[in-house]
Structure 1
Amino acid sequence: MRNLLKTATIFLFLITLTAGTTAPAKDNNKAKALLDKVVSKAKSYKNIVIDFKYSIYNAKEKINQDSNGNVAMEGNKYVLNFMGITKIYDGKKIYTIVPEDEEVTVTNNDESDKNAITPNKIFTFFKKGFKYSMDIKQTIPGKTIQYVKLTPSSVTDTRKEILIGIDTKTNHIYNLIETGKNGTKTTLTVSTFKFNQALAKNHFTFVKSKYPNYYINKAD
């Protein structure tokens, strides 16, 4: 779950020989400018509600799995539903609700985990610790997707590279694709993107009375 919104794949970017040493700088500036538009657009909304598909693939390990989920975000708060588990972050605590076990685990948000791309970081995680470059532009029905490649600056990062697919018309993130150094490829694709929804006042609050028979495990 901690790695839910982590992603990457291979970029194809052509640099002409006549561009000389200025091409990487120009490429970096274009990529950064596009990412800045994504951040600015996301911050302009009161809240965001997304349905998504999550895929993980590793040929060597014979892993090929698809799952669906949804997430609502407002500021740094979020409610995530994925693989039968609900996570609520109220800005201070994370409540992980597992109906199968009738258990709720309460933890503090770990800001020190820089590699964890949690829902409230999906529009900002790329601002530090990466080198940027523009990649291919892809046309799908009704959308033109421009990819930006992120390469981790740290050699100890377990991620090889990350692709961010951006809808050029809306400046919304369409998908995130990560390739790990171990060959694992994870992809998150947005199915529906809604914003400024009429959410309940307690939407991002854990209401204990809704889980009367659940064991509350305070891990921190």
Structure 2
Amino acid sequence: MIVDIWSYEFTVCYRKGIDNSDADAMSRIQVPEKVIQINSQENKFTSLQEMKDAQLEEPYLKEMIEGTVKVTFPFALKGGLVCFIKYDPPVLVIPKKMQEKFLKAIHEHITSGHTGRDKTLEKAKENGYWKTNNEDVKTFVKKCTKSQKYKTPTHKYKKMTSIEIGLPTEVWAADIAYLPESTKGNRYLLVFMDYMTKWLVTAALPAFDTNTIANVLLYNIVLV
């Protein structure tokens, strides 16, 4: 090939790589365009054709697919579908009508375990994109009855504070302990303690209710 071009007159010119797209394309082996699918097999919640049909129902996605507007970063067309390429790896842009179905697929699948907001959002971003995904995932998880029923409760503990004590017998603490049944049939131990003097008053009970506790307080403490 080099011998063949000697019969022509030509001048060799330098061109920056950024401007030399023709030669760059010729020097590379063409890589077939790959369709970006939802990454996880478990989240294959719809067919690519259904996804494309749904994307065509949204004006801004339809314009990109049909080429009436230029597709620019962070979007790209792959296999006729609009993808979000800012994530690594790129993911499909999930149209409005498919978003709830998509969230159910990643949140309610048998292997998902109804995860919380953060993990569900992380999984959503691994498999799809839309502009309000953060807010929508938060709302979706909040409305999920199973997530709310079985989630680990978060307890906020207050700091310990001192109790103001004036005179003896002014402030009492009370508690009931469940113990093995005695020979007299008592199963509970009612305990009163004076905060000031630490004086203890106890009463063994076969059962308890408000009247029983009130009687112990009256006859074992007040009227003593």
Which category of TM-score, normalised to the shorter sequence, fits these structures? under 0.3
Answer 1 or 2: higher relative contact order, Cα 8 Å, separation at least 6. Answer: 1
TM-score of the two chains, using structure 2 as the length reference: 0.18
From the CA coordinates, give the structure whose radius of gyration is larger: 2
TM-score of the two chains, using structure 1 as the length reference: 0.18
- When you count strand as a share of all residues, which structure comes out higher? 1
